[in-house]
Amino acid sequence: MFKKILIANRGEIACRVIKTAKKMGIATVAVYSDADKDALHVQMADEAVHIGPPPSAQSYLIAERIVEACKKTGAEAVHPGYGFLSEKREFQEALAAAGIVFIGPGAHAIFAMGDKIESKKLANAAGVNTVPGFMGVIKDAEEAVTIARQVGYPVMIKASAGGGGKGMRLARNDQEAREGFVSATNEAKSSFADDRVFVEKYIEQPRHIEIQVLGDSFGNVIYLGERECSIQRRHQKVIEEAPSPFLTEAVRKAMGEQAVALAKAVDYKSAGTVEFIVDAQRNFFFLEMNTRLQVEHPVTELITGLDLVEWMIRIAAGEALTIQQKDVKLHGWAVEARVYAEDPFRNFLPSIGRLTRYIPPAEGPNVRVDTGVYEGGEISMFYDPMIAKLCAYGPVRELAITHMRQALDEYFIRGLSHNIPFLAALMAHPRFVRGELTTNFIAEEYPHGFHAEDLPVPSPALLVAVAAFVHRKHVERETSLSGQLPGHEVKPADAWVVQFGGNSYPIVLAPIAGGYSVELDGATLSVTSDWGIGQPLFRGVVNDGNDHHLVVQVDRQNIGYRLFHGGSRVDAVVLSQRASELAALMPKKAPPDLSKYLLSPMPGLLVSLAIAEGQEIKAGEVLAVVEAMKMENILRAARDGIVGKLHAKPGDSLAVDQKIVEFV
Ligand code: ADP
């Protein structure tokens, strides 16, 4: 076994690999860019080597830097994680030349599977079902139309070098095929420096279901069940689960066996994933093989009890698999949610900055948190803005979801926007709970984006009780601090009005064992908790006839409280009867009118402006293109109008909400 390995990655996956290496008694070397000198993976590793400036092209993506770091520290092997150099054949060859072991499959497997056109041909030859289509490179937009007609609309236009959902366009007619060809080609060129695209049939009501395989150097290959990753936004996975609520035992076996056949066809020796797209009749078609550890591998680990990273390391060190197919048993259900620093209410714009407070839920048998950040740390603009992968486990799907909802309630993040409200809404969505998934789930259920109204409505009575409890604790402290002169003792009042969401809830509070009773609307609730002032999480039981075990995040805000629960945010104020009457008379400040501006929805680069001053524009017309995180975002006119002033020019770096265009 290796004595020391280097992890050529950052963030949660670097931390994840380091954990297993530690467990195996292997020393670890981290690498880091200037932006990551204080990062968690650097702190966790036994040694760390600086490899360059923040942009990954100048640090994490330079194979020679990694090879040098290995030589310098004596690391015998490298785990590449996912992304970065994990599927770069040149990297593997550079390591081999230096006598360093790559913890992953052979170069030929990566090469064969790295290209969507080539891998599809190979899969076909290995007897794996592939999506019907044209397996050649498309020359131009007109050829795209011709082929698309032959394949039959709808079609998917895809970059052969594609990954991470980039360079992919759905086309339902000739015009979309033409446009899709151009935009897929451009995106492929800028993201992968390879503009080859091909066309395949678009599978309707598709589900994304993938098979985890594990192979060793002795020709043994097994499959470890499937993961369903149908909940996607812009072809990027948001929620993954294992097993899939859709597969039958027979289909699972058929998919598993095809995945193994493909892995064997390329002498696969490591952990790998064969991705399939599955239609409503459970026909499945090969999409691609990922020759590396997947982001979502933890859900497989949770239901199989296997440590995939440990197996990758053991196989790379020359060990044979000691588990056979018949030993693989799937137990229970696991769900993973990708927690991102992005603003779900603003079209999921990346939100970079410092985590001023960061308290993940406690890990245990039902909760796993894979993270690479810590309180006070920074989510930088240079990398994927992932905060963590949150996994929940349960004996059955329903319980796994319940545990996930509770863990999301507990996840305390301040300092930047995050997608927990969106994740909470998904977990509470009846269609998700029923397991009726397709890759269009998010687009269908949130056709106009995600809004506060899409959140599950928290029961007002429960939050009134929590707000009352929290406020009463504050008042008790204030009265006890305000000098209790004999004869002038101040007693907290019992009658209050709780205000939130534009409503007023008059209540009467009375102490009971462990909490208070709350009279509201003629009913009496009880709220008990050991919550104390300053604690970010209120955990307690509100009883309205039934016990509700609640976790509510509590922020003090001026005279009120900001409560977070079920993804919702509620600003509550608790006032005396008189103060509440006076508050109703206070003037309200109207927000400024921004409708006559086109604002940059994200920090990014203004690539182009499609309009000139004085030009008349129609709703839906393209105004500008802003590039952020390697994605081109087309900004269109919300309504008809006339362009007044241009406030920015192509090439400008834009801050979020910066003015680009002013309309007349
Ligand atoms: P990437 O390598 O960029 O992740 P994939 O080929 O794995 O690209 O596809 C990503 C997602 O795009 C799939 O999970 C699926 O949602 C969708 N997709 C890809 N090809 C098709 C297709 N032919 N029909 C329907 N959806 C597709």
On whether both 562 and 539 belong to a single domain, the answer is yes
Q: Beta strand pairing status for 271-278 and 547-557? A: unpaired
CATH at 154 = 3.30.1490.20
Residue finishing a domain among 531, 560, 583? 583
Residues recognised as catalytic: 288
On whether both 90 and 144 belong to a single domain, the answer is no
Which atom belonging to ligand 1 lies closest to the Cα atom of 208?
Answer: 14
On whether both 76 and 9 belong to a single domain, the answer is yes
According to the model, what pLDDT value does residue 630 have?
Answer: 63
On whether both 141 and 70 belong to a single domain, the answer is no
According to the model, what pLDDT value does residue 536 have?
Answer: 95
Q: Is 250 left (phi over 0), alpha (psi -120 to 50) or beta?
A: alpha
Residue 42 placed within a domain: yes
Residue finishing a domain among 186, 201, 216? 201
Question: What's the total number of domains in the chain?
Answer: 4
How far apart are the C-alpha atoms of 422 and 412, rounded to whole Å?
15
Contact status, residue 71 vs residue 78, Cβ threshold 8 Å: no
On whether both 561 and 603 belong to a single domain, the answer is no
Stretches where the chain sits below pLDDT 50 are none
On whether both 163 and 93 belong to a single domain, the answer is no
On whether both 610 and 516 belong to a single domain, the answer is no
Residue 609 placed within a domain: yes
Residues 6+ apart with CB under 8 A from 592: none
Contact status, residue 207 vs residue 277, Cβ threshold 8 Å: yes
CATH at 575 = 3.30.700.30
C-beta of 240 in contact with ligand 1 (< 6 A): no
Q: What is the pLDDT of residues 470-482, one digit of tens each?
A: 999 999 888 877 6
Preceding amide of 536 cis, omega within 30: no
On whether both 603 and 563 belong to a single domain, the answer is no
Residue 377 placed within a domain: no
Which atom belonging to ligand 1 lies closest to the Cα atom of 167?
Answer: 3
Residue finishing a domain among 103, 118, 153? 103
Beta strands in 11-79 (DSSP E): 27-33, 47-52, 77-79
Give the residue carrying structure tokens 């698309």: 148
Residue 454 placed within a domain: no
Residue 489 one-letter amino acid? E
**What would the two tokens of residue 580 be?**
């509440």
Q: Say how many Å lie between the CA of residue 568 and the centre of ligand 1.
A: 32
C-beta of 59 in contact with ligand 1 (< 6 A): no
**Closest residue CA from atom 23 of ligand 1:** 202
CATH at 650 = 2.40.50.100
Residue 412 placed within a domain: no
Q: Say how many Å lie between the CA of residue 287 and the centre of ligand 1.
A: 7
On whether both 10 and 98 belong to a single domain, the answer is yes
Instruction: State which residues form the domain around 557.
Output: 460-482+490-583
On whether both 563 and 627 belong to a single domain, the answer is no
**What would the two tokens of residue 400 be?**
């796994």
Q: What is the pLDDT of residues 599-636, one digit of tens each?
A: 888 778 899 999 999 999 988 888 998 887 666 788 88
Contact status, residue 78 vs residue 7, Cβ threshold 8 Å: yes
Residue 455 placed within a domain: no
CATH at 49 = 3.40.50.20
On whether both 495 and 554 belong to a single domain, the answer is yes
**Closest residue CA from atom 17 of ligand 1:** 235
Residue 174 placed within a domain: yes
Q: Say how many Å lie between the CA of residue 463 and the centre of ligand 1.
A: 42
According to the model, what pLDDT value does residue 6 have?
Answer: 98
- C-beta atoms surrounding 232 within 10 Å: 21
**What would the two tokens of residue 260 be?**
């193994």
Residue 653 placed within a domain: yes
On whether both 542 and 470 belong to a single domain, the answer is yes
Which residues lie across from 507 on neighbouring strands? 496, 520
